[in-house]
Amino acid sequence: MSRVVVAGMGAVSPAGWGVEELVSAIESGAALDRARLGHPGRREIDALNAPKPSKEILARIRHPRLRRVSGISRFAVAAGLEALEEARGRVCFEETRVGVVFCSTCGCVTYSRKFFHEVLEDPGLASPMLFPDTVFNAPASHLAAVFGGTGENYTLVGDSGTAAEGVAMAANRLLDGAVDLCLVVAAEENDWLIADAVGHFAKSVPVAEGAGALALALSDEALPRLDTVTDPQFYDAAAGRPADVALKRMAAQLGGEAATVNDLLLAGTGGLPRLAKAEQAAWADWPGQTINVKTTMGEGFAAGAMWQMIIGASALRKGFASRALVSLPGAYQFAIGAGFSL
């Protein structure tokens, strides 16, 4: 994958609408404003919401397709367009051969919840206005419509590791010659249902919403390069597959053993103590700097994984690191990692 480079990046996060806002917030480490989220009148947990977009951002994502959409589609479009715009200045590609790989863990949960609530109240009266935007690939479809992308367009679902799988798929399609440039976008939106679900496992890390995007292309320019995406390593304590073994395998596949003090580790555990312990054990001998994006940004699932990759690629661009390794222990399913270098 050595010719696969990060030609552009885009982000929407609790810190704001843009990569600069995300990177600055991680660099400063200052706490962001939290909200409380939960079923009305019941258990609530902390949440980090994306702030309202500025007029400039609203003008940038103004499109008929986005008239009735929920947050996830707006986030995906804004991050995707930011990454695409930056890529236009760095690499050459045919606009009709831009692919999209969209990744999400929770998908279009707000409209899904609203629609299903209506179904439970009276299926004969559930609104057809809501249903189309419940579908997993709706955000990817909107993004393509906004920039006129008629090329390949895939939506991948899974836990946070799905963002790394999306990067791998995009790299494959670039190397196959199917696309000239591929936008990998991961997005999530906050909803009380997500908070309710997360509350069964972790209450110490707030749920977060937003999107992250990488525009990948083939190039020999001095840009952050994708070195590898590991195979998924499964863990399930109940089935005799401990997390620490899986994470150590992932770390070894990423080349963690050969790390130097100049390398940067983007750790990925959030509020699951057992998983955090396993990740710490897997990277116990790590000699370089470690950043955990979730400390500032909360649990953003697939979007959070993309924020990790953006922070890594940004550090490479600024010369703060020679390699950036992204560790992604997904909630209860598998560990996967991605490695970048300059």
Least distance in angstroms from the C-beta of 163 to other proteins:
12
Q: Residues in contact with other proteins, total (CB under 8 A)?
A: 71
- Asked whether 198 and 263 are in contact (CB, 8 A), the reply is no
Please compute, for residue 250, the number of CA atoms within 13 A of its CA located in the half-sphere on the CB side: 34
**Min dist. Cβ of residue 304 to other proteins (A):** 15
> Minimal distance in Å, beta carbon 240 to other proteins?
8
The set of residues, in sequence order, having a beta carbon less than 8 Å from that of 112 and lying 6+ positions away, is: 134
Do 310 and 21 contact (CB within 8 A), yes or no?
Answer: no
CA distances from residue 283 to 2, 267, 277, 286 in whole angstroms, order as listed: 24, 9, 10, 5
Q: Which is nearer to other proteins, 26 or 229 (CB)?
A: 229
Smallest distance from other proteins to CB 54, Å = 26
According to CB under 8 A, which one of 197, 222, 237, 261 is a site residue for other proteins?
197
What phi-psi label fits residue 16: left (phi over 0), alpha (psi between -120 and 50 degrees) or beta? left
Instruction: Fill in the per-residue mask, 219 to 258: x = in contact with other proteins (CB under 8 A), - = not in contact.
Output: ----------x-xx-x-x-xxx------------------
Per-residue x/- marks for other proteins, 11-30, CB under 8 A? --------------------
| Gap between the Cα atoms of 169 and 175, Å rounded | 10
Of positions 105, 190, 292, 308, contacts other proteins by CB under 8 A:
105
Q: Is 123 in the site for other proteins (CB under 8 A)?
A: yes
Q: Residue 81, CB half-sphere, CA atoms under 13 Å: how many?
A: 23
Q: Which stretch binds other proteins (CB under 8 A): 82-90, 165-173, 212-220, 308-316?
A: 165-173
